[in-house]
Structure 1
Amino acid sequence: MASQANPAEVLRICPQALHARMTDGEAVVPIDVRTTDARLFLPVQLPNTRWLPIAEIVQQAHTLPREILLALY
């Protein structure tokens, strides 16, 4: 199960599986890694999404929770 994965492990998950996990109540933090321009072009996001542009992931890694599944999209 992904929530028990090694913190350094990267898993791929399809949108349907992510939706199922979120619907089942699994703790998931969706993270929108799109640029500002991309978000303006398509201003849709998952519920409770945190916006963190991909260019800032390394600098902001310390602010991300480590005990739950992070879903970057």
Structure 2
Amino acid sequence: MPERRAVDLIRSAGTGSVFTLIDQPEDERDMTLADLAWQALRTAILAGAPAAAPAGPGAAAVTLRAALPELT
């Protein structure tokens, strides 16, 4: 899964979990909901098939930046 898609997925699931919990009456909240959402996200992001690497200088720059984060 591409990094941007994974970030968007994590954000949308987190936001949805928070709003769902806020919307539920306090005495009925399922506080395991966030943990279950995180487990599902990890599975979707980490266990999926590797994304095809885009070609070109942009892809090379992203790969280099990921490998050497201390460079400016």
Q: Shorter-chain-normalised TM-score: which range? A: under 0.3
Higher Cα radius of gyration: 2
TM-score (norm 1): 0.24
